[in-house]
Structure 1
């Protein structure tokens, strides 16, 4: 059985692998920031998601060693791993920071492998709407992401990545 930190780190690494393969297959740039501090001093608020990714603004973020939302655009996508449902509603923070898309993985305790639920939310106005697919990769469903996570545990990461690449080719 994985301890919570191992589970958290493994899920984060799997999602990052998935995003990198997507970017490679679609020939798009992606810049990722693990556990960034996203602050807007003018709003006197900030948040620390598990990861933030730039896709539309990847070129302007390339080579930067941090995110400064007073001058940088908000990330296109952030990812959160929750080992239990949090009582803190981060969506209000993310909406104020104008983050277009949030992926949340909520694990189920007591499992040997990563087994949980993945939720994709996108910003509409000043609140988030939960959908099966997101804005960044509209053909990629939460179910497909969970299938990749499951395959990485059952058949191994590299075969799961190969399967993902083959599947992406059928979508483009």
Structure 2
């Protein structure tokens, strides 16, 4: 296992990313099990490459705000949405594994979530869409610089979409406006008021 240290720190954002190469599947599983109790640590594994990521407070604020808004939407619209946060998902045959920032199942739990949400504050070192593709996650939402892009898995590749296949009536512009608000409580209240 070769350690290549890449620290992707940007404009006083306290996110840290480290990339290890030549990591076997067994080493990845051992590291994941060993470091499970390390608060906040995320791992992304892609065919022998392992990214270790410690999210910033800004990252966690945005992902929590989006989660609160989405969960409020599901309650208001009576959608059976089940959140699993940053649970670990992996597939040995495809040599892929990760913890989404947030993830959801609709109606019932399956092997992999229906929707995964990723917040990008600093550039990642591995292609997460490639990891999700190998896991077969049907929909990935990526938030970056106040914009939300939804990707649908079509055939073998992700394609950008204008709306969620699972939540087609969700007003994405409203969600982005509220998620961009500096105060979580104000964002949730504004979103709730707009839904009613």
TM-score normalised to the size of structure 2?
0.65
The Cα of 1:159 is off from its aligned counterpart by 3.8
Q: Which structure shows the higher helix fraction?
A: 1
Deviations 1:68-114 (A, max 9, x none): xxxx432011011111233422212211211111111124xxxxxxx
The structure showing larger relative contact order (alpha-carbon pairs under 8 Å, at least 6 residues apart) is: 1
Distance, in Å, in 1 between the alignment partners of 2:120 and 2:192 is 27
Which digits, 9 at most, give the CA deviation of each residue in 1:104-158, with x for residues without a partner?
Answer: 1124xxxxxxxx322111111111111232112213354322201123x2xx433
In the alignment, does 2:177 pair up with 1:139?
A: no
Q: Say if 2:89 is the partner of 1:51.
A: no
Q: Could you tell me how far apart the structure 1 residues matched to 2:119 and 2:157 are?
A: 20
Distance 1:157 1:84, change over 3 A: closer
Aligned residue among 13, 22, 25 for 2:64: 13
Q: Report the count of equivalent residues.
A: 145
- Superposed, 1:118-129 pairs within 5 Å as 118-129=148-159
1:149 aligned onto 2:179 = yes
* Structure 2: runs of 5 or more not aligned: 1-11, 16-55
Give the structure with higher Rg (CA).
2
TM-score when normalising by structure 1: 0.73
Cα RMSD (Å): 2.2
Q: Which residue of 1 aligns with 2:140?
A: 102
Task: Write 1 or 2 for the structure with the bigger share of strand.
Answer: 2
The answer to whether the Cα contact below 8 Å between 2:82 and 2:106 also exists between their aligned partners in 1 is yes
Give me the whole-angstrom Cα distance separating, in 1, the residues matched to 2:98 and 2:184: 30
| Consecutive aligned runs of 4 or more in structure 1 exceeding 3 Å deviation | 1-4, 156-159
